Structure 1
Amino acid sequence: MSIKRKDDIIQAVVVADTFGDEFLPLSCDIPLALFPLINKPLIDYTLEFLSLGGIEETFLFCCSHTDAIKAHINQSIKDKAGWSLTMKVNVIVSESCHSFGDCLRDLDRKGILRGNFVLLEPGTLSNIKLLPIVKKHNETSNKDKGAAMTLIYQEAGRDEEIVTAVNSNGRVLFHRKLGQNKERKVEFPLEIFLENSSVSLHHNLKDTHIAICSPSVLPLFSDNFDFQTKDDFVRGLLMNEEILGSTVYCHVTRGSNFGGAITNWRMYQSISHELENNWFYPLQAPILGKNGVVTGEKVTLNDNKKISNSIIGDNVTIGQNVQIENSFIFSNTKIANDVIITRSIIGPHCHIKSKSRITTSVIGQDVVTENEQFIENSLVQSTQPENCEETDKLGKKAFKLRLESSAEIGDPPVEESDDEAFTDSDDEELSYTQSPVPDDTKLFFTEVIDSLTRGFEDELRCENLILEINSSRYAYNVTVKEVNFNVIKAILIMSLRFPIGPQYFSQFVRLLSFFAPILKNYIRNEGAMLDSLQAIEDVAISNENVNEKWVMFTMKWFYDKDFVTEDVIMEWSKSLDAKSRFYGQVKPFIEWLEEAEEASSSDDE
């Protein structure tokens, strides 16, 4: 009888936290790991998948809601859940971690992983057979001592498109996640074709958010603090392959093998329906739907004829003449008569009072609406948020939540035609040329705009982008003033890349709102405010297509958001050439400020 050595045990790491605001306000009260997925906690599907896949020991890394997750795992073990019979689960707690990369660095310090391991990003579930892929990764590692990671992709990406180039051995030569940007043009480095006899290009792949890792992965994260996500890791290894001496491979699954992660509400809906339709077999939901509707235990339905394509949790009471469409109602919620809910998430322990209408919104835990209340395109929580405005209060236990990292819900659409926003030379290519600058500053600016463009396209956290910018700053001989100027200028230049049309300024607002945390980080004093105004001036002067409307809009946004003050604007305007084209563009805004000041003075008198 052979005894398995500890080093032969197949281990997995599951990071439980998202470190973002994708699931606010519900994630304030419920960890993603315990989100109900067809009335069963998400983590149960993940652990069942790992157990069926042959994993013998899993480390569940938690940074928030740790007590709730621990209690659920302990209760599942007591209840003899299927995964608990064949797999050991260890809950690792570290509340000081603020990113996926921080978690892996902490694991490296703890030294608890003994060999190759399976790495799962937050919210992952799958039915992919892991052991053959682990075996293949081991064989690859024996041939290529620098093999760090095997990425697992699924063919025919419908939700997240990956463009990658691999050689005949499956080694990744180029990798890019297209995200939500509309740009479909991808430029491949010429050297990957010159240096490899065979290159396969894939453009229809979906990231399963599962990877097989060599022991070198954790030290690589520890040695490179700017690796905050798995994508950062892959990008860094491909860019610095000769320096780091590490390579990345990929494995593409086909057929009935499915995998994915709940990274946002769109993916929550998509995976819920895939699970409901048995696409993840042998993973199964505890209850099956009927006619597009799934209902949990102890659900009171006075009339279910008007409920479609929705999932109803346990202990939910639904009144008469209620319409629910394409929505998720979490457990212990009460919905009164004559309520209409469409394309929304209703959290647990909520009370939706009679004749309320909720559409395309997320309602947090314990929210109580008022009678006949209309909620649209909103995030609503039961407690009052910081800097709450009067219009955000919907009731004693209902408050709108506004996020700095995205465009505010309810911003009025831009009605003016963008033909008015630019001069008649719209058909000409916008010029992004800048005044001659020292080489270091020019290289710094190039890296900043590359980082910001990638961050906006992939919706990366602004905190991570700030780390990248600061790293670039120390790599080049640039001053604080040059950092402030070039960061603001890079954001403004990105706005000129949007297509000219009726939605231009809406897209501009979305861009500025997304980068608001970065603006707040660098515009900290009057000197930085002056740098921002000079950046606006430089972009306007360097691009003849930009006219008064663009300048007025940009100045007013920075002023309204308190990134620049009236005093600094007035002092800066005195240095402008009164005969210049730019002064003519900014003059209406200066006059508007002066009129507002005079009106305020007369009111005080």
Structure 2
Amino acid sequence: MPPRKGKVANKSANGGKGNEAVQDERLQAIVMTDSFQTRFMPLTSVMPRCLLPLANVPLIEYTLEFLAKAGASEVYLVCASHADQVNEYLENSKWNLPWSPFKVSTIMSLESRSVGDAMRDIDNRGIITGDFILVSGDLVTNMEFDKALEFHRKKKAEDKDHIVTMCLSKATQFFRTRSHEPAAFILDKSNDKCLYYQDIPFASSKKKSSVAIDPELLEDVDEFVIRNDLIDCHVDICSPHVPPIFQENFDYQFLRRDFVKGVLSSDLLKKSIYAYITDDYAARAESWQTYDAISQDFIARWCYPLVLNSNLLEDQTYSYESQHIYKERDVVLAQSCKIGKHTAIGSGSKIGEGTFIENSVIGKNCQIGENIIIKNSYIWDDSVILDNSMIEHSIVASGVKIGRNVTLEDGCVIGFNVTVDDGKTIPNGTRISELPVQKMPSPFLDDGSYTDEEDISDREQKHLIEPATDLVGEGGTGYIYESDYSDIDDEDSILDRVTNTLTYRIENLYFSDDSTSSASTKHRKRRTMSTTSMTTDREAEDGLEEEDEDFEKEAIATVERAMENNHDLDTALLELNTLRMSMNVTYHEVRSATVAALLRRVYHFIATQTLGPKDAVAKVFGQWGMLFKRQAFDADEFVDLMDLILEKVSKQNFEKPEFILFSALNCLYDRDILDEDVIYQWWDGVSQDPELEKVKTLTAKWVEWLKNADEESEEEESDESESDEN
């Protein structure tokens, strides 16, 4: 029986089944607060993932906001790990007040070790009375759920066997949150009925994948489509038949790879699953990379109207300024500190003289000293960072103290209440916890493999953590955390070990640099000011830079859409020119964005093993290099184009950048976009930066070959001329 308003019920006993008469009037929701994974260790050894802050707001708040807007009337939070913390949080939250939009209950499912176990527990309790929403507690979305529910009810009326509607979000190959758990959905093109589901290996795994489907599943299907461009955030609208199916199949542990795949391939169940595909923003903080990506997206207002200055928590007081800067009240900023774009600062925090912060989130009551650099990082509440330290692309949890002259290199995770002594450097990808983490809380590894109790016991013995005195110093406190993959060397585990760290930078995967959505098919609305913003001196100085960055993102997205959807050149040129004129930028910026987009496309083909380097360059530059014909009009501009190609090839992290540069320039030369005189002019003035020497090696030989061929041609013409005169 659901709890009364104003009281969170601790569901330790079976609920009643006496509410079936009103099942159509209520929309229930089941929230999985436990991920049943170890991806956020060692932080999740102290706090459940759903309570970790994203942009200074606990993750569960985003999920509950979504359910409130979706019209849920009853919400059940299934708690396994740290269940007491979840229950306590809810009891003290706005969701437990009499005017809460729904009744909220916690279900203590302490024995559950997977989604399958949790669903079987729910079935045993008998609390489901009708259709319900199944989500995880780490969802961030602005989805218009009414449309999804309407789709579900329509399909249910048409198909009596319909039991689940999966809500999926469109994404291009550049969408960062798509990268963690790629999958292929085979859908009936006429009605979006799901015919088959299959996991896809990561592009970096170097495994070739294929879809093997039983032909019988395609009977009576006129036309089907294979979709691997969808973000699956595990937002499902389920019928009451779903929990009993888990009950009948104890080997179903995972929602997609077991339940969905099993239902679709079963000859006995004969049940239907449909896909509702939306353009709205939807993502799960299911890994360090997606946490990073969603944080940047949320700060950049991609989830509008769900934004930070809507102040989801009752005690928040955020105001919004241009360049996506958010500040709460009682923030103290020194006169000479600089707060860069895409930054949020919580109340009570103090920033010292000469400190620079950009693309970062600072929590409440943080003490940031003088001459500190913080970039692309997340500093949680009550942390202290002393003078002259540098933090790059890292997470610093609550209660941490960082000493003077400390460097946190790319991808560090500093756990709750850790202390780092003065003058220390924490290497790339290091994870440190306050106390030793000695055992794995789940028998499921991050790659989904199951391990028995004996294996767990073995790993517990191997993972007795030693004090990290060498790293944190004599005056520091902390232990190195090594994940459960440290002793496993199979290819999947190595890959997941790499992707489960902030060090695995998104831009190296050929995705957008700042926003996971910048290459989405959904057009971006430029937002630089709002009714709550205030003009500062800094904004006037940085306005031009912001406009250039906005143009670059929009232009790259335009070219990427053209390539992905195979638009004709004239359409792509028209869109680019319209964008150029609307933002009043030069053709140099247009060329720069086009080069970046083309090289990212090349990188994608190579990284996914779709094409080899030579064929990838030929395909992309052969077809889309003609864009430069309308972007460069004299020798100096073509020289600038070649400089841009050299610069961006060197930054794209190709395995053999020298071959990519040579192939790209040679392709443009073969298509008469570049001629010899321009190439020689560029080569005579090309950058002599030592870092570019390797990139230019093959091009140097190519230019020398062109000159020799040119000279031989001139000699032949001279000989022919003399022969004619004689």
TM (normalized to structure 2)? Answer: 0.53
Q: Which residue of 1 aligns with 2:296?
A: 273
State whether structure 2 residue 381 is matched by structure 1 residue 331. yes
> CA deviation digits over 1:481-514, x for unaligned, max 9?
xxxxxxxxxxxxxxxxx99xxxxxxxxxxxxxxx
Separation of aligned partners in 1, 2:158 and 2:426: 59
Q: For the Cα contact (< 8 Å) 2:467–2:480, is it kept in 1?
A: no
Q: Which residue of 1 aligns with 2:401?
A: 351
Match of residue 10, structure 1, among 13, 22, 27: 27
The share of aligned pairs that are identical, in percent, is 28
Q: For the Cα contact (< 8 Å) 1:12–1:119, is it kept in 2?
A: yes
Q: Between 138-147 and 63-72, report the one with greater CA deviation.
A: 138-147
Q: For the Cα contact (< 8 Å) 2:42–2:437, is it kept in 1?
A: no
Report the alpha carbon displacement of residue 310 of structure 1 after superposing the two structures with TM.
Answer: 0.7
State whether structure 2 residue 284 is matched by structure 1 residue 261. yes
> CA deviation digits over 1:516-552, x for unaligned, max 9?
xxxxxxxxxxxxxxxxxxxxxxxxxxxxxxxxxxxxx
Q: For the Cα contact (< 8 Å) 2:59–2:138, is it kept in 1?
A: yes
Match of residue 163, structure 1, among 178, 184, 187: 184
Q: Which residue of 2 aligns with 1:298?
A: 348
Q: Which residue of 2 aligns with 1:398?
A: 478
Q: Which residue of 2 aligns with 1:219?
A: 244
Separation of aligned partners in 1, 2:414 and 2:495: 27
Is there any run of 5+ residues in structure 1 with no aligned partner, and where?
Answer: 412-451, 460-497, 500-605
State whether structure 2 residue 313 is matched by structure 1 residue 313. no
State whether structure 2 residue 372 is matched by structure 1 residue 322. yes
Report the alpha carbon displacement of residue 261 of structure 1 after superposing the two structures with TM.
Answer: 1.0
Matches within 5 A, 1:216-255: 216-231=241-256, 232-239=258-265, 241-254=266-279
Is there any run of 5+ residues in structure 2 with no aligned partner, and where?
Answer: 1-20, 312-317, 326-340, 439-463, 498-607, 610-726
SS of the residue corresponding to residue 134 of structure 2 reads strand
Match of residue 388, structure 1, among 462, 465, 470: 465
Separation of aligned partners in 2, 1:356 and 1:258: 37
Structure-2 change in CA distance of 1:297 and 1:214 (3 Å) = same
Structure-2 change in CA distance of 1:78 and 1:53 (3 Å) = closer
Q: Which residue of 2 aligns with 1:23?
A: 40
Q: For the Cα contact (< 8 Å) 1:179–1:457, is it kept in 2?
A: no
Separation of aligned partners in 2, 1:211 and 1:320: 48
State the AA in 1 paired with 2:235. I
Q: For the Cα contact (< 8 Å) 2:184–2:200, is it kept in 1?
A: yes
Separation of aligned partners in 1, 2:132 and 2:286: 22
State the AA in 2 paired with 1:388. I
Report the alpha carbon displacement of residue 48 of structure 1 after superposing the two structures with TM.
Answer: 1.0
Matches within 5 A, 1:60-139: 60-77=77-94, 80=97, 85-139=100-154
Separation of aligned partners in 2, 1:389 and 1:76: 38
Q: Which residue of 2 aligns with 1:375?
A: 426
Report the alpha carbon displacement of residue 282 of structure 1 after superposing the two structures with TM.
Answer: 2.4
> CA deviation digits over 1:312-343, x for unaligned, max 9?
10010011111111110000000011111111
Report the alpha carbon displacement of residue 182 of structure 1 after superposing the two structures with TM.
Answer: 4.1
Q: For the Cα contact (< 8 Å) 1:221–1:233, is it kept in 2?
A: yes
Q: For the Cα contact (< 8 Å) 1:303–1:321, is it kept in 2?
A: yes
Q: Which residue of 2 aligns with 1:56?
A: 73
Q: Which residue of 2 aligns with 1:34?
A: 51
How many residues in Structure 1 have an aligned counterpart in Structure 2?
411
Report the alpha carbon displacement of residue 11 of structure 1 after superposing the two structures with TM.
Answer: 0.8
State the AA in 1 paired with 2:379. I
Separation of aligned partners in 1, 2:53 and 2:106: 20
State the AA in 2 paired with 1:44. E
Separation of aligned partners in 1, 2:183 and 2:56: 31
Separation of aligned partners in 1, 2:135 and 2:353: 42
Matches within 5 A, 1:567-578: none
> CA deviation digits over 1:67-106, x for unaligned, max 9?
222222122238859xx53211111112111111111110
Match of residue 221, structure 2, among 196, 199, 214: 196
State whether structure 2 residue 197 is matched by structure 1 residue 175. yes
Separation of aligned partners in 1, 2:60 and 2:193: 31
Q: For the Cα contact (< 8 Å) 1:174–1:188, is it kept in 2?
A: no
Q: Which residue of 1 aligns with 2:211?
A: 187
Q: For the Cα contact (< 8 Å) 1:393–1:399, is it kept in 2?
A: no
State the AA in 1 paired with 2:301. N
Separation of aligned partners in 1, 2:155 and 2:35: 31
Q: Which has the larger radius of gyration?
A: 2
SS of the residue corresponding to residue 148 of structure 1 reads strand
Report the alpha carbon displacement of residue 16 of structure 1 after superposing the two structures with TM.
Answer: 0.3
State the AA in 2 paired with 1:402. E
Separation of aligned partners in 2, 1:454 and 1:138: 39
Separation of aligned partners in 2, 1:122 and 1:47: 8
Structure-2 change in CA distance of 1:17 and 1:53 (3 Å) = same
Separation of aligned partners in 1, 2:208 and 2:192: 24
Structure-2 change in CA distance of 1:453 and 1:100 (3 Å) = farther
Structure-2 change in CA distance of 1:307 and 1:38 (3 Å) = same
Report the alpha carbon displacement of residue 163 of structure 1 after superposing the two structures with TM.
Answer: 2.0
TM (normalized to structure 1)? Answer: 0.64
Structure-2 change in CA distance of 1:307 and 1:457 (3 Å) = closer
Report the alpha carbon displacement of residue 380 of structure 1 after superposing the two structures with TM.
Answer: 0.3
Structure-2 change in CA distance of 1:319 and 1:458 (3 Å) = closer
Q: Between 379-388 and 58-67, report the one with greater CA deviation.
A: 379-388
Structure-2 change in CA distance of 1:49 and 1:175 (3 Å) = same
SS of the residue corresponding to residue 242 of structure 1 reads coil
SS of the residue corresponding to residue 71 of structure 2 reads coil
Structure-2 change in CA distance of 1:78 and 1:293 (3 Å) = closer
Structure-2 change in CA distance of 1:188 and 1:330 (3 Å) = same
Q: For the Cα contact (< 8 Å) 1:179–1:458, is it kept in 2?
A: no
SS of the residue corresponding to residue 228 of structure 2 reads strand
Separation of aligned partners in 2, 1:59 and 1:194: 39
Structure-2 change in CA distance of 1:187 and 1:229 (3 Å) = closer
Q: Which residue of 2 aligns with 1:570?
A: none
Q: For the Cα contact (< 8 Å) 1:393–1:400, is it kept in 2?
A: no
> CA deviation digits over 1:349-397, x for unaligned, max 9?
0101111111211111010112211112211001134423466764452
Separation of aligned partners in 1, 2:342 and 2:286: 23
Q: For the Cα contact (< 8 Å) 2:45–2:437, is it kept in 1?
A: no
